[in-house]
Amino acid sequence: MKAPVLLAYDSPLEMRNDIEIAAPATGEVKIKVVASGVCHSDLSVLNGTIPLPTPIVLGHEGAGIVEEVGEGVTSLRPGDHVVLSFVPACGECYACKRGQAYICEKAAAQGAGGLLDGTTRLTSEGAPLHQMACLGTFGPYAIVPEISTVKIPDEVPLDIAALIGCGVLTGVGAALNTANIEPGDTVAVIGCGGVGLNVIQGARIAGATTIIAVDMVDSKLEMAKEFGATHAINASQGDPVAQVMAINARGVDVSFEVIGLQATMEQAINMARSGGEVVLVGVPRMDVFLNLNAAFTFLYLAKTIKGCWYGSSNVNEDVPKLLELWRNGDLKLKELISKEIDNEHVNEAFEDMKAGTVARSVILHSH
Ligand code: APR
Ligand code: ZN
Ligand code: ZN
């Protein structure tokens, strides 16, 4: 198999043509990956923000077709179409049983860069290759845990299904699951990339009537308006908190940070009204700490800060719900795709992402 591999942090991915893929073990399935989004979290592994072991096949936002099933797999058979979930959902652990599959205890295995038993099914040049998020969707095939898949109807195009696997579940979920948006609310979304645009459309679906998009790139702000933003603020043209207060002096009912920077996280905290909610979605570096100002002020203002992992999603329930919203025309999916590429061009997709010129580049694999 041929796939781009991250050999060391801060270096471009390198194509390997000799990757060997083992058969699926018990509870695993082999997926013919049809499409994979290129998400900022892939870049965050590349630059060490998310410190996974190398060498590694990146890619955690994918969809494909089941090719082969390992022993004990009961929910899938070859030919089934699936969205890949970047968090496994076992349905049996403490978190899953409490409706918090997004923090399924089986996900602890992911830090080691292997599948659930800690080992990987890929080798190249005689050495094991890790798999991001138990997946590795930048390769045209992947062995993944059965519990990292959600079966979908065959008629759903797999390029848009791929986006559901991270950006849509995370962004729309942040608005519909993590936050408590009431109809008529005012919200602000800082960062209008592939994930932030989904927070915006989620806020629209939740009934927010004032949706303030904040970004530094005008083309992103234009897209934000297409996804439901009613106001756009360019953060490079003055303090975004002051610009939000100029629109709504009280501050917003719910603010979302969808980048992962200390400065913008603190802006999100400061632009929420007293009694409001702050939802932190963007993944920061491990050495980022937040300044909450005086402790008295923080509690007196009675704000709630919520960490949001994977849009607080229960993938088995939320993927069908998102597809229903898409079928009804409430959820834009195709519109998120700025570029379709093959997996030889993923380094260019990272450059586009850094330049802010794309919402999502999507890899369409050839097999
Ligand atoms: N102020 C405002 N906007 C900014 C700033 C800033 N200081 N810095 C960057 N941005 C904007 C960029 O212009 C871009 O539109 O934030 C957006 C980030 O978008 P992407 O790079 O497409 O990232 P995305 O894939 O949406 O992921 C965002 O969510 O899942 C996590 O790991 C992911 O932390 C990342 C975040
Ligand atoms: Zn992602
Ligand atoms: Zn679980």
Spelled out in words, what is the top-level CATH class assigned to the domain 3-155+333-364?
alpha beta
Q: How far is the CA of 284 from the centre of ligand 2 (A)?
A: 13
The per-residue b/e assignment along 100-127, b for 16 or more CB within 10 angstroms, e otherwise, is bbbbbebbebbeebbbbeeebbbebeee
Residues 73-101, mean pLDDT to the nearest whole number: 98
pLDDT of residue 298: 82
Cβ 113 vs Cβ 56: under 8 Å: yes
Q: Which of 247, 308, 309, 310 is nearest to 273 (CA)?
A: 247
Ligand closest to CA 261: 1
pLDDT band, very low/low/confident/very high, at 291 (cuts 50, 70, 90): confident
77 CA to centre of own chain: 27
pLDDT band, very low/low/confident/very high, at 34 (cuts 50, 70, 90): very high
Cβ 55 vs Cβ 5: under 8 Å: yes
Q: How far is the CA of 275 from the centre of ligand 3 (A)?
A: 33
CB under 6 Å to ligand 1: residues? 39-41, 44, 170, 190-196, 214-217, 220, 235, 258-261, 264, 281-283, 353, 356
Q: Which ligand 1 atom is nearest residue 192's CA?
A: 15
**Cα dist from 81 to 61, 91, 156, 309, 348, whole Å:** 14, 21, 9, 25, 29
pLDDT of residue 69: 98
Q: How far is the CA of 172 from the centre of ligand 2 (A)?
A: 13
| Alpha carbon nearest to ligand 1 atom 36, residue | 282
- The secondary structure of residue 6, as a DSSP letter, is B
Q: How far is the CA of 92 from the centre of ligand 3 (A)?
A: 5
> Which residues have their alpha-adjacent CB atom under 5 A from ion ligand 3?
90, 93, 96, 104
Ligand closest to CA 95: 3
pLDDT digit string, tens, across residues 59-80: 999 999 999 999 999 999 999 9
Q: Which ligand 1 atom is nearest residue 236's CA?
A: 1
Please name the residues in contact with 231: beta carbons below 8 A apart, sequence gap of 6 or more.
210, 211, 212, 213, 247
Pocket test for ligand 1, best of 38, 40, 44, 172 (most atoms within 8 A of CB): 40
Q: How far is the CA of 259 from the centre of ligand 1 (A)?
A: 4
> Within 13 A of 101's CA, how many CA atoms are on the CB side?
23
pLDDT band, very low/low/confident/very high, at 115 (cuts 50, 70, 90): very high
The average confidence (pLDDT) of the chain is 97
| Alpha carbon nearest to ligand 1 atom 32, residue | 41
Identity of the residue numbered 290: L
Extract the tokens encoding 154. 């065959």
Residue corresponding to tokens 């950006």? 167
Please name the residues in contact with 257: beta carbons below 8 A apart, sequence gap of 6 or more.
190, 191, 264, 265, 267, 268, 278, 279, 280, 281, 282
**Cα dist from 193 to 41, 88, 326, 342, whole Å:** 12, 25, 19, 21
Residues 121-132, mean pLDDT to the nearest whole number: 97
R_g over Cα of the chain:
20
pLDDT digit string, tens, across residues 177-190: 999 999 999 999 99
| Alpha carbon nearest to ligand 1 atom 16, residue | 191
pTM above 0.95, yes or no: yes
Q: How far is the CA of 40 from the centre of ligand 1 (A)?
A: 7
Q: How far is the CA of 146 from the centre of ligand 3 (A)?
A: 13
Q: How far is the CA of 61 from the centre of ligand 2 (A)?
A: 6
Ligand closest to CA 147: 3
- Percent of residues, the chain, with pLDDT higher than 90: 97
**Architecture in CATH for domain 171-308:** 3-Layer(aba) Sandwich (3.40)
Domain regions of the chain by residue span:
3-155+333-364, 171-308
